[in-house]
Structure 1
Amino acid sequence: MDPIGLYCLTGRSPRSLRKESQLNVGGEHMSRKPNLAVLTALVCLALAGSALYAQTSFGRISGSVTDPTGAAVPGATIKIINTETQTARTVETDSNGLYAVTNLPVGPYTLEATQKGFQTKQLTGITVIADGRLTADFKLAVGDISQTVEVTAQSGEALNTTSGDLSRVIETKQVENLALNGGNYVELMTLVPGAVVTNPDQFSVTTSLSATNQNINGNRSDSQNLTVDGAFNLVAGSNGSLMNNVNSNFIQEVKIQSSNAGAEYGRTAGVAFNIVTKNGTNQFHGSTFETFRNDKLDARNFFSVQKTKLRYNDFGYTIGGPIKKDKLFFFWGQEWKRLRQNANPSRVTVPSTAMLNGDFSSVAQIFFPGTKNPIPGNNIASLMTPDGKAIAGVFKGQEKLASAFTDANVANNAILQPDNPLNYRQHLVRIDYHINDKHSLYGRWVSDRNSLVDPFGTFSGANLPTTPTLRGRPGESFLLAETWLVSPSIVNEFRINASWASQNIPPYGDTWQRATYGFQFPYVFPAGTGNFRNGIPDVSVSGYANFKGPSFALHSPSTDSQVADSISWIHSPHIVKAGFVMIRDRVDQNGRSSYTGNLTFNSSGNTNTTGNSLADALLGNFRTYSEASADPMGFFRFSQPGAYIQDSWRVNRKLSLDFGVRWEWLQPWYTQANNMANFVPALYNPAQAVTVTSAGTVVPGSGNLYNGLIRAGDGIPSSEVGRVPGSTSSLFGSIPAGAPRGFFQAQNMFSPRFGFAYAATSKTVIRGGYGMFFARPQGNMIFSQLNVPPILLLSQFENGNLANPGGAAGVTAVNGNITAINPNVVNGYSEQMSLGVQRELPKGIFAEVSYVGNLGRHLLRQPNINQIDFALNAANAALPSAQRAANATLVPYKGYSNITQYNSDSTSNYNALQVYLNKRKGNIFFTAGYTYSKALGDSSGQGDNPENYLDRHYNYGPLSFDRRHAFIGTYVWSLPRLGTANPIVRTAFGAWQLNGVIRLQTGQYYTVTGNTSIGGRRADYVGGDVLVSGSAQTINNWVNRAAFANAPDNRFGNAPVGNVEAPGLQTYNLSVSKNFQIKEKFRLRYQADFFNAFNIANFTGLNTNLASAAFGTLPTAYPPRNIQMQLKLTF
């Protein structure tokens, strides 16, 4: 490939190198058009190859033409005219009187059928939707061709008589009228049956850009495929963060393909969620808008002592119209967000001031470390070390930040709500160009910038805001598409797009610095590197909130590029579509290793314990200490070609079949520099195992400390040596190379697709289908392989003191925790199926009842394969504290701590009854969906680390996103205009609109755990009701403690997975709006949105750890009622 074509595919940014809304006017359905790019994309289009991704923003119309007797009328001319742009397509019916038109841009159309000897017939008011298949049948009357009969279609829902996939469309009316919290479009994905919301705080997406607050039809949240005009809109590494959070004022409509989609859909195993941006027309249209929120209008969070600060302004404008009528059109929009708020209340447990000063008189007797000699008065003030005082200083600083603090040794005694400000800007431009009758072009560019102070640290997982971050994340996306009408029966679509996010998340302020608190402990790697080496360590004290230093800071510019080509061939009664796609991803990311140190303090297993974990911390006596030597940089790359073919066969007027197959070559991510390593159990030689002392250190000269490791590829290429520190060292040379560059083999994957639709009557359709969908490997799976020797050294020590965490001079530590990838990993997949009945009911109501199934196979999980044998661990724990051996002596792979290895042996099973009602015409527009489902499996996500990794069935049960019952309803109700009232009354009280979203879900399932002498484990269920009953059940007493007990040391606990159900979710979002006409062309719209309108407290975070004083409590609540107001002027 030429250099520019290669540039396009590698995706280097200039800076860094339908709902089957069929409309049945006589029968079927429809869809819409694409957007602009910049000079770079234009050059790429001209000089690159041809190939992109099949998330279509077009639709098709098909149908039949018959005479008054029902006989076919061959050779009839069908003209399809877009009424907004006046672009037109013309086809003729075949010998069976059938016609089809593909690749129609989204929008309103008029259809006209003519034939000699018959009157001309027009169908008006037809709307094509994204990926929609509209059926429009004509019955011609005998007469003069110059006579025209016009029939106006009734917009709204229609029976789907041509496909068996399960899909929904969120129409413009819903996008414009329903209350979207923070204007975040991802919320639209949750308005369909099968959707489960795991975090209802949609406003948080404004700052987090998270796309993982929901699960659809039993799929994992990182398996979703979000696109804008068909272009991928997620950051490639995680598949869980938005590239661009497109403003709802820029959106035309939304298509959700939730199950058994056609062969053109791929890339991920989950839902395909595509938004279509607005385009210009022959008329100038525009708007300016301002959205306003203020905490003075809001309710107080249930756990807050005062209202959470909130000042929010979202303002901007749009304009679109013709550059040249009937030929060239534009749409342009800009948006700004200014947010000044506190973070959501975090209810945490912190030590009392007395304890932080060394006074432990309020707790059980503590002892001099490693003895049974009691400390007089339980006071250790005189024994506290400088680093212990520094840890106390961190906690004291957090107590000062707390909005509420109970200075006592009780659970959940502090509430933290630090500042969380955001500045944001976005602009979008789209150009549509109808070149001639055979060629049309569109391009689209989206760009946004955000600057966010995240007090808890983005991606840190910290409970305390010790290390705030300043998240700067520009996101760009370019798309260019060309449609070529090769002949009336052949249409080709070529598309190319590139998107990138230049993400940089450094620490902010000074609360993350060692000097702020006086930390003095020496580093194990005094010559180690890392951008924020002067930062505090990560600290976890058993029983209290943890805090993090700055080593998690992220630098991660990422790019996603796609090139695709598809061709549609109409060969009645078949419509055959085939295509090819090439995806290229690029992420340059640091390892985020613990180079400032990672400390755990836990009296369990600590040979130097006082009997109290916090007292241990103040004396500097850690259970474990680990430290990394550097923060390496990875230069990750990924390529994924794919192809598909699908035949849509209209067997007869009642039966339609879809057959297809998709091919994808799924290969792992790799680094250009091959600077990764992997632990492979088959390469571990027990004869070369190191000898580990009872203290957990390695006997010098014994065995091979890096036993079982292998480096990626053929070693570091000579051109990359400068980017990999230490690559010429003897250590690098001592560890063999030769593993696959991504540590497992690429695979050719073929996924069949089938669907059918059978029109049993004119008002009843039976539909169903099956499809296999492969889950591509995510970048997060391999990014941590940077942090494996020899690329990075990570030492771990047990039962030492912070004054000298590495112990005596010359002591060799075991390797710290590492990740690994099983060389036999295969790509996971889901088998999706559905069978349902769709029925047209009176008054424009349509109902659909479906069975929906989803079988997940070969899904990823990440168990610790270096777990200590259960019996051995129990025997060691039974010894007196001073006689216990360190864990490092007991693990099967000596010389290593935890080894969490990705395996592809997880399964899931989803079975659901889904009921869907909708009414899309008249003054009342509504949708209602109910789902009864079970989502069962042995792993809820690829990072799950089970207690017993050798028996995955031990972990089988309800998944973390299993919600047995879920209801979602939306409505848009136009109230009477009061046309006979006087002008003042009519203006003030007439023509209001009432809109809303109702969401009801049952609760999440939790598993009860407890602490034993060998650590935290599954508890025993001893009988009785698991939940407290009646009025005794409160948020501080939700679970019946008497039904559970700690399991004995000689076996695993028998408490079932997920046998405790947390409270459900109830949210009622309500909005009222009214349009005021200002002269002829201007209209002012006022809208007030009430999120959680009835201020229902939805509790979350159920504590099910028997060892915790907070067992059975619900410490947090989702947001209370918030009010948002908007003014929008349109013309």
Structure 2
Amino acid sequence: MIVSQRSFIRTAHFARFSLGLLCLATLLSIPSIQAQTAVATLDGTARDESGGVLVGVAVTAINRATNETKTTVTSQTGDYRIPQLLPGFYDISAELPGFKKFTVSNIELRVQQTARVDLVLQVGDVKDTVEVIGQAPLLQTEEASVGTVIDQKRVVQLPLNGRGFLQLAFLIPGVSQSGPGGRTATSRGTFNGDSAISVGGNRENANVFLLDGTMNTDRNYNTFAIGPSIDAIQEFKVQVNNYSAEFGAQGGGQINVITKSGTNSFHGAGWGFFRDAKLDAKNFFDKPDKPIPPFDRQQFGAAAGGRIIRDKLFWFTNYEEFRQTKAQTSLATTPYPQIRMGDFSNYRDRNGNLILIYDPATTKVCSTCATGYTRDQFPNNVVPTSRINPVATKLLQYIDLPNQPDVLARGVGYFFNNFAQVERQDSMTHRIDYIYSQSDRFFGRYSYSRERAFAPGSFTGQGGNAKPLVQNLTLSESHIFSQKMFNEFRFGGMRFRSFKLPETAGIKNIHKEVGITGTDELDADPDRWGVPSMSVNDSFGFGGGGEVSNQRNNSFHFVDTFNLIHGRHSLKFGEDILREQLNIKE
């Protein structure tokens, strides 16, 4: 996409239409018609003990947490399908006059799963019940996509350093950590770099992130825009390959995170995790005569959920706060005071040979010289103070002096620092679920994340600040018209604001202060008031102060999927529209 430069704003749009008719082979029994959705589907075939199909069997699925009930009857071929089921645990029952009631307890349905549960009814009194407990794990036989669901138990119970949910993706075959220093892992400027993963051998920026089935991808770096607290996650699924046509936009993984909903029972939890540098040991590079560099982390929050109206209206809310101060060990080369004052009398190369300094004002033509000219050496290899540009003298004030005993070639030494990297995040998720009837369900979810990070530079005052703020909204309404027709509509809206500025932005106009001319455009833009970036070959470099970027991006995601079942055939009509506005000043 084309983004704007400076103060110009250009809006980029694209729309991906997935409007198709999927007719599968007649030999397959009701195949998957699952879209990029946040729900699951249950299907199967009812038979008697001899293997004959049973028509008109009443099949009921009851959510154990919310008591939501959905009922259907088997078709002329003995098949049934119950769509639009929230991930969770269900009890399934089947009834037909002349047969014993058949029940299966505690079946777990997962996000984007089409689970098959076949039913075998025995002849007998309907008052009698055949109950199956401890059902074997459901196999995914209804579609060819390759993916893995990380369920709530693993999300909550497995230890995670920093509580980043995507670390669990490394449990999945085909998922690996991206290489160090990759752009996706470093460019956002905050700890969100944890979302830089490689799926199926693809690049780290080839993934798509969804939150409750709508877009949650930061289009700048293709990381997740909001990383929900693990206590707000029901489960998430990573599809590695062979995913259906509803997915796409990138060739890597499709990561769909599902948030928790409330239940009929009230549940709440609070937590706190703390780390203090006083309990740490020094690393190899820390100075033995100095205090332990800071590494302090506090992470705390709470989550709660319950019902407003039993079996109808449910709520869930979560808040989490992250605070971290961590010293960064850095070693940079910087010139000694003699060099800064023009004294090159001991200016030597790596072999200890004196490097002569010549006066450019004495340049003369020399027909016998290999270079065609000659110059005179400064007396005693010292540049007079009057010949040093005052801009250079002022710029050198922004470069720390060496603080280590090492004397390197070309008159430079080491400046060692333990400047602290500071990170802050406040995030929250709020969700409402409303079950109108067996045929209609609505949910709305709002998530918010504000991050602030300071990354120090090699020298004092040359760090950078990053301040992303993301808001994400999902609204969903599902409707079952009949046993053979059902529809789901979802809307997702996301606003992504990100400021990346030098440490001195808006505080000190260094270009003007040191006397650099021709920078009127920079002088007029306080966001770009950083230390100028410069380098001296084979010696030292300084400046930069972090990337400059000011963004306010919006995305609007509309998804509608209509499903029709005709006998053993499944027809799907869908539309997926994503409109994006990228408003970037850099």
**Structure-2 separation of matches of 1:444 and 1:526:** 43
Match of 2:52 in 1: 71
Secondary structure of residue in 1 paired with 2:491: strand
Match of 1:227 in 2: 210
Q: 1:122 to 1:206 in 2, by over 3 A?
A: farther
**Structure-1 separation of matches of 2:523 and 2:274:** 49
CA contact (8 A) 1:313 1:337 kept: yes
CA contact (8 A) 2:270 2:303 kept: yes
Q: Does 1:329 find its partner at 2:314?
A: yes
Match of 2:482 in 1: 487
Greater RCO between the two (CA within 8 Å, min separation 6)? 2
**Structure-2 separation of matches of 1:514 and 1:322:** 56
Secondary structure of residue in 1 paired with 2:429: strand
Shift of 1:285: 0.7
CA deviations 1:720-755 (Å, max 9, x no partner) are xxxxxxxxxxxxxxxxxxxxxxxxxxxxxxxxxxxx
Match of 1:143 in 2: 124
CA contact (8 A) 2:185 2:195 kept: no
Q: 1:59 to 1:30 in 2, by over 3 A?
A: farther
Q: 1:528 to 1:451 in 2, by over 3 A?
A: closer
Shift of 1:545: 5.5
Match of 1:190 in 2: 170
Match of 1:346 in 2: 330
Moved over 6 A (4+): 27-32, 200-206
Shift of 1:499: 1.1
Find the partner of 1:293 among 269, 272, 275. 275
CA contact (8 A) 2:32 2:142 kept: no
Q: Does 1:474 find its partner at 2:499?
A: no
Match of 1:425 in 2: 426
Q: How does 1:342-741 map to 2 (within 5 A)?
A: 342=327, 344-357=328-341, 358-359=343-344, 360-363=346-349, 364=353, 365-368=355-358, 369=360, 371=374, 373-375=376-378, 377-380=380-383, 382=385, 383-396=387-400, 399=402, 406-409=406-409, 413-456=414-457, 466-509=461-504, 513=508, 515=510, 519-523=514-518, 529-532=524-527, 535-544=530-539, 546-549=541-544, 552-591=547-586
CA deviations 1:747-773 (Å, max 9, x no partner) are xxxxxxxxxxxxxxxxxxxxxxxxxxx
**Structure-2 separation of matches of 1:545 and 1:161:** 62
**Structure-2 separation of matches of 1:567 and 1:174:** 33
Shift of 1:324: 0.5
- AA partner of residue 320 (structure 2): E
**Structure-2 separation of matches of 1:143 and 1:503:** 67
Match of 2:369 in 1: none
Match of 1:992 in 2: none
- The CA RMSD over aligned residues, in Å, is 3.4
Match of 2:226 in 1: 244
Shift of 1:353: 4.8
**Structure-2 separation of matches of 1:571 and 1:488:** 10
Shift of 1:440: 0.6
Q: 1:375 to 1:206 in 2, by over 3 A?
A: closer
Q: 1:308 to 1:252 in 2, by over 3 A?
A: farther
- Listed as ranges, the gaps of 5+ residues in structure 1 are 1-8, 12-26, 33-53, 457-462, 592-1131
Q: 1:538 to 1:436 in 2, by over 3 A?
A: same
**Structure-1 separation of matches of 2:189 and 2:583:** 25
Secondary structure of residue in 2 paired with 1:556: strand
**Structure-1 separation of matches of 2:530 and 2:121:** 79
Shift of 1:384: 3.2
CA contact (8 A) 1:30 1:134 kept: no
Find the partner of 1:87 among 65, 68, 71. 68
Shift of 1:212: 5.2
- AA partner of residue 481 (structure 1): S
CA contact (8 A) 2:470 2:494 kept: yes
CA contact (8 A) 1:433 1:440 kept: yes
Match of 1:305 in 2: 287
Match of 2:264 in 1: 282
Q: 1:492 to 1:184 in 2, by over 3 A?
A: same
Q: 1:394 to 1:281 in 2, by over 3 A?
A: same
CA deviations 1:1003-1046 (Å, max 9, x no partner) are xxxxxxxxxxxxxxxxxxxxxxxxxxxxxxxxxxxxxxxxxxxx
Secondary structure of residue in 1 paired with 2:476: strand
Q: 1:31 to 1:514 in 2, by over 3 A?
A: same
Match of 1:19 in 2: none
Q: 1:347 to 1:61 in 2, by over 3 A?
A: farther
**Structure-2 separation of matches of 1:28 and 1:406:** 75
CA contact (8 A) 2:502 2:547 kept: no
Q: 1:134 to 1:353 in 2, by over 3 A?
A: farther
Secondary structure of residue in 1 paired with 2:37: coil
Find the partner of 2:88 among 107, 112, 119. 107
Q: 1:131 to 1:232 in 2, by over 3 A?
A: same
Shift of 1:355: 3.8
Match of 2:303 in 1: 318
CA contact (8 A) 1:29 1:61 kept: no
- AA partner of residue 127 (structure 2): S
CA deviations 1:10-51 (Å, max 9, x no partner) are 99xxxxxxxxxxxxxxx999999xxxxxxxxxxxxxxxxxxx
Shift of 1:428: 1.1
CA deviations 1:489-522 (Å, max 9, x no partner) are 2110011111112223343348984659962232
CA contact (8 A) 1:252 1:278 kept: yes
CA contact (8 A) 1:504 1:555 kept: yes
Shift of 1:589: 1.6
- AA partner of residue 533 (structure 2): D
Secondary structure of residue in 1 paired with 2:582: strand
Q: How does 1:918-929 map to 2 (within 5 A)?
A: none
**Structure-2 separation of matches of 1:450 and 1:527:** 27
Match of 2:159 in 1: 179
Q: How does 1:963-1042 map to 2 (within 5 A)?
A: none
Q: 1:551 to 1:145 in 2, by over 3 A?
A: closer
CA contact (8 A) 1:235 1:558 kept: no
Match of 1:662 in 2: none
Secondary structure of residue in 2 paired with 1:420: strand
- AA partner of residue 178 (structure 1): L
Q: 1:525 to 1:165 in 2, by over 3 A?
A: same
**Structure-2 separation of matches of 1:195 and 1:99:** 35
CA contact (8 A) 1:466 1:548 kept: no
Secondary structure of residue in 2 paired with 1:181: coil
**Structure-1 separation of matches of 2:405 and 2:315:** 56
**Structure-2 separation of matches of 1:335 and 1:535:** 33
- AA partner of residue 494 (structure 1): F
- Listed as ranges, the gaps of 5+ residues in structure 2 are 1-10, 14-28, 364-373
Shift of 1:541: 2.7
Q: TM-score, normalised by structure 1?
A: 0.44
**Structure-2 separation of matches of 1:70 and 1:59:** 27
Count of aligned residue pairs for this structure pair: 534
Secondary structure of residue in 2 paired with 1:421: strand
**Structure-2 separation of matches of 1:297 and 1:490:** 61
Q: 1:367 to 1:206 in 2, by over 3 A?
A: closer
CA deviations 1:314-364 (Å, max 9, x no partner) are 11111101100000000011112222232x333444445554444352325
Q: How does 1:970-1119 map to 2 (within 5 A)?
A: none
